[in-house]
Amino acid sequence: MNKGRLSVKEITYLGASLAMIEVSKLALDFLPNVELVTLLFIVFTIFYGKKTILIALGFTFIECLLKGFNIWSIMYLYIWPLLIIIVCIAHKCKVDYLFYCILSAFFGLFFGMFCSIPYLFIGGFKMALTWWVAGIPYDILHCVSNFIVCLILFNPLCRIMKKVMAGIL
């Protein structure tokens, strides 16, 4: 992908990637804290770089349209870009896929902590801590499921993305 303006091809790829993230989110919504969103953001960031932030903003907007605006809307505006920034830095350091599996797991484990930040401003430290601690069992499930999903799907998704980017698919 080129620097600066987005080409029609790039807009198409980013839009299709956004659709994949949204479809995967909706398909797994019935499972608590089991999702492909984190993995897909990692893979797309490896291939699109910081332009993946456009996907994150689109994802947040679509989620808000589907589920309404709420405190989580604010959380999504910094949580997904944070992951994208971390992956951009890691990718420049040429880390292996196991790093991304561990990153995905840690992201799931600390997702609740990251989400508690707005509560610092709403109700102070006690409210933020209480909110985070109450969700730790779900964060543990999020951690384990993110690790397993990334371990199984990271390499196949990267192989597919290489073909997509080369114009083979």
pLDDT tens per residue across span 13-30: 999 999 999 999 999 999
Taking the model in full, what pTM does it have?
Answer: 0.94
Give the CATH number of the domain where residue 53 resides.
1.10.1760
CB atoms within 10 A of CB 104: 26
Residue 86 is assigned to a structural domain of this protein: yes
User: Nearest Cα to 45, choosing from 99, 107, 92?
Assistant: 92
Report yes or no on 1 lying in a domain: no
Amino acid at 154: F
pLDDT of 11 strictly over 60: yes
Is 114 part of any domain? yes
Dihedral sign from CA coordinates of 73, 34, 53, 165: negative
Give domain status of residue 97, yes or no: yes
Say whether pLDDT at 1 is over 60.
no
Please indicate, yes or no, if residue 154 is contained in any of the structural domains: yes
Q: Write down the pLDDT at residue 100.
A: 98
Whether residue 18 lies inside any domain: the answer is yes
Report the domain count for the chain: 1
Where in the sequence is the domain holding 111, given as residue range(s)? 8-166
- 58 Cβ partners below 8 Å, 6+ apart? 14, 15, 18
